[in-house]
């Protein structure tokens, strides 16, 4: 068995979530072989055409990886492994951290060559990409951003891709709303962690009010300008909860989650042009982290 490939136990859990064969047309290539090819490309970040022959035709692996995000296959697998971990008592819901990371877009993801116009005109507005591609221009180049929430075991519970220039604070509510750990034997899914930690980028009135409304305790660092502005308003200022430095030390758990997620080279650099394919590539990387103890 090669490094990073599927074990028999992991395949037994994964095979139940994959689409079945309907009996029409030619028989499908083995799902396990295709899944191994997807994981190999995720770990190495190599072009699809350079896929080793032991995984079958590269176009078959690519098309399967492109179709499965559309029907929610990767999402079902992620929810399944999260539910298995929760059933085994390996989900630490006492603390969840929220953070983001930027991923530079490779030239293959940034766009195709465009034909030169017949009349060269002076460009008055910056070039923008389609809003559904999740690409944005930052100081360096075209980038995308991954907003995520991670539980205490350094594993992601929800992911949200955005263009690279989007801020962190406006995305926190959407990231927390995406937390959904299924509990088939207990009842409703787990959607609310006991405590939330965040750095200064997530300090805003809207976020604090949202957390208070959901009765979620939080430890979010407050920037110096917000602190001075609140003191200037006096009793009219929106006073945050007391800052617990000991709890804030656990914010490094979500930072380590980001580090583990970007160990996959296809996540650290975006190679997929379509946003939904790129998002599911990150979902596959999250699935790899969950079976671990």
Q: What are the pLDDT digits (tens) for 177-209?
A: 999 998 877 788 889 999 999 999 999 989 999
Taking residues 259-285, report their average pLDDT: 92
Per the rule left: phi > 0, alpha: psi between -120 and 50, beta: everything else, 23 is left
pLDDT digits (tens, 9 = 90+) for 214-256: 999 999 988 888 777 777 766 555 555 567 888 899 999 999 9
Using a CB cutoff of 8 Å and minimum separation of 24, what contacts does 273-276 make? 273/108, 273/109, 273/111, 273/133, 274/66, 274/133, 275/132, 275/133, 275/134, 275/135, 275/144, 275/161, 276/69, 276/70
pLDDT band at 122 (very low <50, low <70, confident <90, very high): very low
Tokens of residue 283, six digits: 């979902």
pLDDT band at 141 (very low <50, low <70, confident <90, very high): confident
Helix or strand or coil: residue 216?
Answer: coil
Q: Give yes or no for residue 274 having a pLDDT over 60.
A: yes
Q: What is the pLDDT of residue 235?
A: 58
The larger pLDDT score, comparing residue 257 to residue 120, is at 257
Q: What is the pLDDT of residue 275?
A: 87
- How many CB atoms sit inside 10 A of residue 243's CB? 12
What's the CA gap between 146 and 161, in Å, rounded?
5
Q: What is the pLDDT of residue 130?
A: 58
Q: What is the pLDDT of residue 126?
A: 40
Q: Give yes or no for residue 24 having a pLDDT over 90.
A: no
Full set of structural domains in the chain with CATH: 93-110+132-271 (3.30.420)
Q: What global pTM score does this model have? A: 0.84
First and final C-alpha spacing in the chain: 20
């Amino acid at each position: 068995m090669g490094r990073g490939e599927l074990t028999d136990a992991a395949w037994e859990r994964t095979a139940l979530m994959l689409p079945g064969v309907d009996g029409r047309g030619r028989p499908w290539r083995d799902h396990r072989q295709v899944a191994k090819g997807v994981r190999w490309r995720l770990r190495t970040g190599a072009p699809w055409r350079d896929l080793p022959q032991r995984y079958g035709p590269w176009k078959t692996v690519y098309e399967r990886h492109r179709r499965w995000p559309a029907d929610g296959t990767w999402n079902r697998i992620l929810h399944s492994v999260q539910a298995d971990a929760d059933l085994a008592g390996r989900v630490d819901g006492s603390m969840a951290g929220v953070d983001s990371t930027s991923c530079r877009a490779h030239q293959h993801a940034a766009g195709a060559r465009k034909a030169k116009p017949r009349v060269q005109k002076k460009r008055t507005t910056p070039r923008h990409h389609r809003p559904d591609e999740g690409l944005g221009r930052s100081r360096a180049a075209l980038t995308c951003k991954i907003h995520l929430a991670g539980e205490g075991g350094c594993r992601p519970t929800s992911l949200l891709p955005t263009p690279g220039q989007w801020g962190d604070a406006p995305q926190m509510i959407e990231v927390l709303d995406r937390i959904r750990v299924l509990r088939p034997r207990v009842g409703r899914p787990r959607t609310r962690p006991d405590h939330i930690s965040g750095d200064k980028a997530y300090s805003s009135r809207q976020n604090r009010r949202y957390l208070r409304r959901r009765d979620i305790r939080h430890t979010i660092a407050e920037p110096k300008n917000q602190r001075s502005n609140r003191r200037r308003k006096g009793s009219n200022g929106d006073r945050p909860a007391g800052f617990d430095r000991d709890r804030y030390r656990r914010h490094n758990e979500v930072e380590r989650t980001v580090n583990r997620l970007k160990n996959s080279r296809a996540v650290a650099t975006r190679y997929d042009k379509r946003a939904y394919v790129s998002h599911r590539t990150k979902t596959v990387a999250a699935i790899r982290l969950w079976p671990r103890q």
